[in-house]
Amino acid sequence: MSVDIRERRFLQTFAKLADTLVADYDVVDLLQMLVDSCRDLLGATEAGILLADDTGELEVVASTSESSRLVEMMQLGAEAGPCVESYYTGQPVFVPDIDAAPPEWARFRESAIEQGFGAVYALPLRLRETTIGSLNLFQNSAGLMADDDVIAARAFADVATIGILHERSLRESSVVQEQLQNALNSRILIEQAKGVIAHQHTVSVDDAFALLRAHARAHQRGIAEVAADIVGRRLTI
């Protein structure tokens, strides 16, 4: 991809994200767009977002792959790894060589290596003093991320944070918690809907999610909204 084309795609992506934020938007759709953009524009093999629930536990709310192994690996990182480290410190945690990850991250390291990842970059979803989760980028090969890509990744993390914690919500913590819980509840519905679709069509969970997204886009509806109808047996796709 040439520099000019790449820069144009960055501009188009951020313009689309900005349009989404000023309109009535579904937070799950916004986060899915963000992780897909990280994969497509930053050279990440996979990407995912973890959000903290009411008790401070990190849960996967969006990822570029619906593979259970990727989700499980991110959950391991939420227990002991760069994902949770970035969340608790409010700082980026870069691991350019997963082989060199500290011993206390052993389970996460083993899972990442088993899936063929060589590097991971975790960035906090942080606004002022409030950190609500982390954006996590995985690369197949070891090595440092380019400086320009780091800047872009920070910008994506900031957009994700602003999308979840609108400034007006910061004045009322109950509203913040409600937004976060709604996002996590939506993810549960999506997981259930994927299972239903995968069973009905005898396809993988990745293909099931693709069908779910395609239906939502074709009918201009939110992913979580469509998922709720599928789980409630009000819709078959």
- The number of residues making up the chain comes to 237
Q: Residue 163: which of 10, 5, 19 has the closest Cα?
A: 19
Identity of the residue numbered 76: L
Spatial separation of the C-alpha atoms in residues 47 and 34, rounded to whole Å: 9
Question: Which residue, 155, 125, 120, is CA-closest to 136?
Answer: 120
Does residue 168 have a pLDDT over 60? no
Question: Where is average pLDDT lowest: 21-30, 106-115, 130-139, 200-209?
Answer: 21-30
Give me the mean pLDDT over the 96-118 stretch. Answer: 94
pLDDT at residue 87 tops 90: yes
Quick one: how far is CA 139 from the chain centroid? 15
Q: What is the mean pLDDT of residues 207-225?
A: 94
Q: In the CATH hierarchy, which fold is given to the domain comprising 3-167?
A: Beta-Lactamase (3.30.450)
Q: Which amino acid is at 19?
A: D
Percent of the chain exceeding pLDDT 70 equals 91
Predicted confidence (pLDDT) per residue in 32-48, tens digit: 988 998 998 888 999 99
Residues 205 and 193: their CA atoms lie apart, in Å, by: 10
Residue 167 pLDDT > 60, yes or no? no
- pLDDT single digits (tens) 70-83: 888 988 888 999 99
pTM of the model: 0.75
Query: What average pLDDT does this structure show over 197-201?
Result: 96
- Residue 23: the pLDDT is 64
Instruction: Report DSSP letters for 119-150, one per residue.
Output: EEEEEEEEETTEEEEEEEEEESS-SPPPHHHH
Higher pLDDT, 165 or 120: 120
Q: Rounded to whole angstroms, what are the CA distances from 108 to 7, 131, 185?
A: 34, 22, 25
Domain residue limits, the chain: 3-167
Render pLDDT for 134-143 as a digit per residue (tens, 0 to 9).
999 999 999 9
Calpha distance 82→53 (Å, rounded): 18
Query: Which is more confident, 191 or 177?
Result: 191
